[in-house]
Amino acid sequence: MMRGLILAVAWVLALVTPSAAQDTAAQWREITRTDVEAAYALLNEDHPALSRAVNDTAFRTRLDEGRALALQRAEQVQTIEGYFATMAGLANVARDKHIWWRSPYMAATVNWAGLIMTRRGDRFVVFSHADAATGASLEGAALVSCDGVSADDFAAQKLGGFSAVWTVEAQRIQSAPGLLIDGGNPFVPRPRACVFERDGRQIAHTLQWREAQRADLLALTRPARNRGAAGYGVRAFDGGMWIALQGLGDQAAPVVEAVRAQQAQLRVAPVVVLDMRGNGGGNSAFGDEIARTLFGEARFRHVIGGGGEGCNTVWRVSPRNLETMRSYVTRFEQTNPDFSRGMRASVRDAERAVARGEEFSGRITCDSSGEASGDAPAQAATGRIVLLTDNTCFSSCLIVANNFRRLGALHVGQATDAATHYFEVREERLPSGLSYFSTLQAFSPGTPAQMGPYEPELRYEGDIDDTPALEAWVRQVARR
């Protein structure tokens, strides 16, 4: 692995030095074509959607169209930036952020127009304006157009084809800060001038492009993403009880224990908030345990647990996926022995499936014959249960959000991100050695084919990272 990394670094340096620039266009075209085809093969061979058994035709159509576009772009690639853009565009066609492309060789600098954008409501707004003369700052102004192209169309072209699924509002929010940052994508023209609007007055602004360090811009773009950070723990607030669950990894376990320990207080509180701001996923079982405490085991089993048998997540048993499963057995043997034992059983199922010539470690249909009927039992908690999300909510966070909504929680905050019913991500280095591409390996027949985006019943339009203001707002709306 280290030798491959050294060779890749040497290759990049050779290709981007000025002395080699005149000879590199043909090489970049070949590099791009090769990596596009390798990424396409990776998905075809390992992703559950593209198995004969599942045969997700919508996914296959998007992938085939994305491959054709990527190969068309490959013929125009002359630099590493063109290669980067082509590979990013290919990953984006999956419409699932579990499928990604990344490279450790991104340039340390980019070009920047001095403006950091944010998404507020349905508009792109200037979050900060560097080096603006006194009285000339565009901070707070909404973008109207760039070079005569409407703000929405410009953003869809710049971001929607390469770094965001444009139909998902959460991803528009996430990608908005980079709208006027140029990483050298040759397929999107850099605008010269934009029109902004503030207080009903339009302002024409010539963009002043300059070089900037990526690391410096990260500090500027982070607060513009309009997301929060719940933290972890259970506490009282002026309105009831507040459960902070920023992730579904190891730090969630103490939160679950605290919820169990404070069950009595939680069940009589007038309002109980599950705050999932900043939660990008992990293990949804932590959310299930909190739901059981708040809503009660009877309601949870009736609403969530009545799906019958044969609804377990199953793996596509390609050689690389099976290798990953085996590695999990040893990798987690000490740190998570329960998971390791479960994976060992899954490996045995997968090996039997391979021997039978089957594509999955278990059934890919879900027996719903055991679905509960009749009215669901009342929730155990006597107060209002509130689910709070921001645009970060993704992957297993979506499962928890969907369960809480089905159980009867009031959903507030921002709309969630979106994903599919395919799981277990793995990435592979592409043949050039210049980047990585990911695939998914498992399939959950009992999970909705499209998870999210989940729109809150009450949308919060303020700064969702301002916890005191958010608490006051939640207390007010939850008691209506």
**Structure confidence by residue, pLDDT tens digits, 77-88:** 999 999 999 999
**Structure confidence by residue, pLDDT tens digits, 245-255:** 999 998 999 99
In this structure, the chain runs to a length of: 480
Q: Which residue has the higher pLDDT, 371 or 202?
A: 202
Whether the predicted pLDDT of 15 surpasses 80: no
Whether the predicted pLDDT of 6 surpasses 70: no
Whether the predicted pLDDT of 394 surpasses 60: yes
Query: Looking at residues 322-336, what average pLDDT do you find?
Result: 92
> What is the per-residue pLDDT for 376?
92
pTM over 0.85: yes
Average pLDDT, the chain: 92
**Residue carrying the six token digits 């040759």:** 186
Phi and psi at residue 81, in whole multiples of 5°?
-65, -35
Whether the predicted pLDDT of 117 surpasses 50: yes
Q: How many CB atoms lie within 10 A of CB 111?
A: 15
Whether the predicted pLDDT of 12 surpasses 60: no
Whether the predicted pLDDT of 101 surpasses 80: yes
Amino acid type, 359: E
What's the token pair of residue 185?
């994508």
**Structure confidence by residue, pLDDT tens digits, 266-312:** 999 999 999 999 999 998 999 999 999 999 999 999 999 754 455 78
Average the pLDDT over each of 160-164, 311-315, 360-364, 466-470 and give the range with the smallest value.
Answer: 311-315
> What is the per-residue pLDDT for 167?
93
pLDDT band, very low/low/confident/very high, at 332 (cuts 50, 70, 90): confident
**Structure confidence by residue, pLDDT tens digits, 398-424:** 999 999 999 999 999 999 999 999 999
User: What count of Cα atoms within 13 Å lies in the side-chain half-sphere of residue 247?
Assistant: 5
Average the pLDDT over each of 2-11, 33-42, 124-133, 199-208 and give the range with the smallest value.
Answer: 2-11
Query: With contact defined as beta carbons under 8 Å apart, do 408 and 385 qualify?
Result: yes
Whether the predicted pLDDT of 466 surpasses 50: yes
Percent of the chain with pLDDT over 70: 92
**Residue carrying the six token digits 């579904």:** 248
Instruction: Give Cβ neighbours of residue 1 (< 8 Å, ≥ 6 apart).
Output: none
**Structure confidence by residue, pLDDT tens digits, 333-387:** 887 788 899 999 999 999 999 999 999 999 998 865 445 678 999 999 999 999 9
> What is the per-residue pLDDT for 129?
95
> What is the per-residue pLDDT for 312?
83
